[in-house]
Amino acid sequence: MPQQTLSTDHPASAATGACPECDGVIAFARAPLAGQVVTCVGCGAELEVTSRDPLRLEAAPEVEEDWGE
C-alpha cells in the first residue's frame, strides 16, 4: 500500500486522528483503511492505521531486510 503524507489542516476531512508521537492532528480526506501507512506532517513519524472504529494510529513497523523474500 502506498504511503501518504497528510495535511494537518484539511477542513473537510472524513476522519481525524492524533499522532502518537507529537499529538498533532492527522486529517484523512477519505475514510482510512486498516493497515494504511501515513506520515505525520508535524513530526515526520510514519504511522499505521491499526483500527478504524475508533480510529487509532500507531508507529508503523520498520521494514526488515528479509521482508518480501
DSSP states along the chain: ---EEE-S--TT-SEEEE-TTT--EEEESSPPPTT-EEEETTT--EEEEEEETTEEEEEPPPPPTTTT-
State pTM to two decimals: 0.72
pLDDT digits (tens, 9 = 90+) for 49-68: 999 999 999 999 987 776 56
CATH of 4-59, one of 2.20.28.160, 3.50.50.60, 3.40.50.150, 3.40.47.10: 2.20.28.160
Per-residue pLDDT at 2: 47
What residues does each domain of the chain span? 4-59
pLDDT digits (tens, 9 = 90+) for 4-42: 544 445 456 789 999 999 999 999 999 999 999 999 999
**Own/partner long-range contacts of 46-52 (Cβ < 8 Å, ≥24 apart):** 46/3, 47/19, 47/20, 47/21, 49/17
